[in-house]
Structure 1
Amino acid sequence: MNLTGFQACDVRGLYGPDAEAQVSPPLAWRLGRAVAARLPADAATVLSGDGRATTPALQSAFAGGLGRPCLGLGVCVPTPLAYLARHRRGARAVVIVTASHNPAPFNGIKLQLGPMPITPAEMAALRDGVARMADAPCVPADVPADTRLLQEAEEAHAAAARQALGGGAGVAIAIDCMHGCWSGRARGHLEGLGYRVTALRDRPDGAFGGIEPDPAVDRQLAPVQAAVRGGGFAFGAALDGDGDRARFVDERGAAVDNGTALVILVRWLLESGRAAGRRVVVYDQKTRLAVVAALRRHGAEPVAEKSGHTFLRTRMLRDGALFGGEASGHFFWGGGAIYPVDAGDCGLFATAAMGAALRFFGRPLSALAAEVPDSPFYTGDIRGLRYGGDRGRLLEAVAGAVDRTAYRVVTEDGVRIESPGAFAHLRASVTETGMLTAAFDAADRAGLRRLVGSVLKAFPPDAAGVAEAIRARVDRL
């Protein structure tokens, strides 16, 4: 049994039909058995999934291993609606078959087995449980779709948007669904709020039209940028494959940094009286320094957390946070007053909220974005850094090689190297096996090059490809 698909907070990897693959029906069946062993016998479980061709087989296998009826939502269901369905029915667990923003050959399984997001320790326990199981045939089970429950979740989403965000007042929006889970749905939700909507890549497609459904990848914004540049739109948005992330472009078609969007949405919550006394805003450690300073300037109390959906949601719930944002485009709503699920996130809801913010401020998105200082020597989140060696040892080597008289080194989430006005962050991906992510920010080019040099000097020869990719990103600034 291949267990390399187990990540820190979910299962994710290349799909295959047999147990040698990172993600397979035999693995899903065993995972179902391991989950059943951790849940009370009467615990209700919502089972959902994205539109990939491999999702039904994984759902059926998981349900067979679980060995009890599930509240099935079907396939091509936005991840936020699965969490809303769990909230509506008071279910203990939610299991979502999806690989989110990864290309179609990948698939995965997200889980929440109680009131709090799943932890790395819980994932490790599930992995160990799967590893210890004796060989047994994978016997799938039918998972009838509860269409009424899905309808309830959609209605709850629409009602929350109407109540918290108001009407769209005929404002024109271009939205790119990337052939993902909001395809065929987003237009109706936004039109129900009064927006005029042009929907792009709006047909559900398990292969995502051959693209990587990730709005954090700049080249994937080209269709929505072209549409907005055609004129007449207040802004545009692109949603990822399972619909929980968003990326915005302004009325001129220029991409808006997710940190900038975080500041705008937090300002709107605070200045429009929607904060209900909350001021804590949780951000991930890849966020650029100018964004953190802007949050403080507008009266928020920014708190750093490990990068990763699970970590930010957990911190928000524990701290009673107002809002949270991740550099990848997750926007989390705290308290349950704006969005029904406390610390829940939804790319479509964030899109409607951005429209509400523009109406409140009465200025175009480009003008609001310009008020957040630029970071010309910020690399952004450098992804796709494949490393075949031991990622833990590489991070230890970097931490050990840094001059600690010049930099502060923090190893809570990979390696973070800090000095006044600069940081470097290098970590193992929590969603992709064998991958690293990195981000660098500095006040000037010389400081950036010193910082990058301090990190790369510790790289072993087998990490030359990673070093080359980092240098290439820095050289483009």
Structure 2
Amino acid sequence: MPNAELSQIVKAYDVRGVVPGQWGEREAELFGAAFVTVTEATAIVAGHDMRPSSPGLAAAFARGATARGADVTLIGLCSTDELYYASGTLGLPGAMFTASHNPARYNGIKMCRAGASPVGMETGLQEIAELVSGWAESGTPAPVPAPGTVAEVDLLPGYAEYLRSLAGPVVRPLKVVVDAGNGMGGHTAPAVLGALPLDVVPLYFELDGTFPHHEANPLDPKNIVDLRRRVVAEHADLGLAFDGDADRCFVVDEKGDPVSPSAVTALIASRELDRNGGHGTVIHNLITSWSVPETIREHGGTPVRTRVGHSFIKQRMAETGAIFGGEHSAHYYFRDFWNADTGMLAALHVLATLSAGQAPLSRLVGEYNRYSASGEINSTVDDQAGRLAGIRAAYGNTPGIEMDGLDGLTVTAKDWWFNLRPSNTEPLLRLNVEARDQATMERIRDEVLGRIRV
């Protein structure tokens, strides 16, 4: 992109940066005009999260879109997966204003084509960015003779009802603590969960884009401390934590212990395969646990391994007709939800499974916790390619070792595996290790880290 400022905020899959430092309503208006130009849309839908800058950015985006002749349906405050629901059910391209779990000074745009099909660098975002960059230097594009209109619609009740129809019933009362982190889960959880036989204990449901209690990123252990304590104190059956735009869901069992997203993936995969007669493809990224493809095969399904990242998951979902997909980052994708990710639907599956029997959640997910995992460990390095090459050389001639380069470097032995992949945005290498026992995992983890951090 010729505009240096814009190149800092246009990422691989979305737009994200500091407001007003890096972008603001002027740029949002240009993005609206460019979005409808590239997608050739005559109508779009847009929504926003609870950040202070979000309503103004969404309105500016709508101005840019209507100036180019497109009608805009504004659904107001919503989660990202509610925006996907809107795009899918209305058959319209969509734009969601959110910076997910980023700090309050950030905001962004997640864009999709009709049916919640993602817009990334290779599927339109590059062209959108180039138009915005050109217009930013030469002036706003001339409006068309017949501008579009703006209408406001509330889709929250329909979204809630649709999700409940996909997950199956909650057949016995459960007590659940829900930490919305002052994000959009505080808006959507009451609508979705309120009609179920649940005793919901709310944590931080007040919508506040300054995140006064903790960051809205449940994958960081420090951000679920309050949830874990409250689950134990309330003698709850489980806890749920959502990120800022509520498209990811993290689960805590009745003991207050975090449930691995791999275990949640395996649990939902088994449900979806059983619901489809033991047939179907399930997508998982390459750093989910060995237990995920094992569970998929045990329930008659076909596991398909893919790179890390939602664009790769969604692409493979579409290519294979997969019924479900899961990632280690607590993103869960459903064929019946336009191949899009929805943390709320994943939560409903967990609730329905737990309610169907009397066993506690810790026992239910125990069958999927078959191995010891390190979690993701980041190392700052000055030469990503060089360190990767060094690891490849160190293990390349070892008997019984297999390697692949689908995403970074994956090294697999009989009793362990690790993946080492570079960050696309920071000078980091990300390490994930899994082994059949804790001692082996720790040995391999320390061995690899020792080679990286020289």
Question: Structures share a fold, TM > 0.5?
Answer: yes
How far, CA to CA, are the matches of 1:163 and 1:453 in structure 2?
45
How far, CA to CA, are the matches of 1:212 and 1:303 in structure 2?
33
Residue 83 of structure 1 aligns to a residue in which SS?
helix
**1:358 aligned residue:** 354
**1:5 aligned residue:** 9
Tell me if the contact between 1:312 and 1:324 (Cα under 8 Å) persists in the aligned partners.
yes
How far, CA to CA, are the matches of 1:356 and 1:124 in structure 2?
41
Computed over aligned residues only, the root mean square deviation of the Cα atoms, in angstroms, reads 3.1
1:257 CA drift (Å):
0.8
1:250 CA drift (Å):
1.1
1:192 CA drift (Å):
0.5
How far, CA to CA, are the matches of 1:81 and 1:39 in structure 2?
21
2:137 pairs with 1:135: yes
1:454 CA drift (Å):
4.9
Q: Structure 1 residues 16, 379: CA separation in 2 closer, same or farther (over 3 Å shift)?
A: same
Q: Structure 1 residues 154, 436: CA separation in 2 closer, same or farther (over 3 Å shift)?
A: farther
**1:316 aligned residue:** 317
1:128 CA drift (Å):
3.8
Bigger shift: residues 420-429 or 347-356: 420-429
Gaps of 5+ in 1: 460-466, 469-477
**1:471 aligned residue:** none
1:81 CA drift (Å):
0.9
How far, CA to CA, are the matches of 2:106 and 2:362 in structure 1?
36
**1:463 aligned residue:** none
2:39 pairs with 1:35: no
1:456 CA drift (Å):
5.8
Tell me if the contact between 2:204 and 2:213 (Cα under 8 Å) persists in the aligned partners.
no
Tell me if the contact between 1:234 and 1:250 (Cα under 8 Å) persists in the aligned partners.
yes
1:281 CA drift (Å):
1.3
**2:332 aligned residue:** 331
2:103 pairs with 1:103: yes
**1:417 aligned residue:** 411
Residue 292 of structure 2 aligns to a residue in which SS?
helix
Correspondence list, 1:180-195, <5 A: 180-195=183-198
Q: What TM-score comes out, normalization by structure 1 length?
A: 0.82
Correspondence list, 1:21-100, <5 A: 21=22, 23-42=23-42, 44-66=43-65, 67=67, 68-75=70-77, 77-91=78-92, 93-100=93-100
Instruction: Tell me the matched-pair count.
Output: 438
For 2:396, which of 381, 392, 404 is the aligned residue? 404
2:267 pairs with 1:264: yes
1:453 CA drift (Å):
4.0
How far, CA to CA, are the matches of 1:213 and 1:131 in structure 2?
31
How far, CA to CA, are the matches of 2:99 and 2:74 in structure 1?
18
Q: What TM-score comes out, normalization by structure 2 length?
A: 0.85
Give the % identical residues.
26
1:390 CA drift (Å):
7.0
Residue 227 of structure 1 aligns to a residue in which SS?
helix
Q: Structure 1 residues 218, 299: CA separation in 2 closer, same or farther (over 3 Å shift)?
A: farther
The one-character-per-residue Cα deviations of 1:420-462 (angstroms, maximum 9, x if unpaired) are 33333233446x56665332223454565456645763x5xxx
Q: Structure 1 residues 239, 129: CA separation in 2 closer, same or farther (over 3 Å shift)?
A: same
For 2:433, which of 437, 440, 446 is the aligned residue? 440
The one-character-per-residue Cα deviations of 1:110-134 (angstroms, maximum 9, x if unpaired) are 1112453234323334334444445
Residue 62 of structure 1 aligns to a residue in which SS?
helix
**2:173 aligned residue:** 170
Residue 200 of structure 2 aligns to a residue in which SS?
strand
Tell me if the contact between 1:79 and 1:242 (Cα under 8 Å) persists in the aligned partners.
yes
**1:368 aligned residue:** 364
2:288 pairs with 1:294: no
Tell me if the contact between 1:4 and 1:433 (Cα under 8 Å) persists in the aligned partners.
no
How far, CA to CA, are the matches of 1:308 and 1:419 in structure 2?
25
Residue 70 of structure 1 aligns to a residue in which SS?
strand
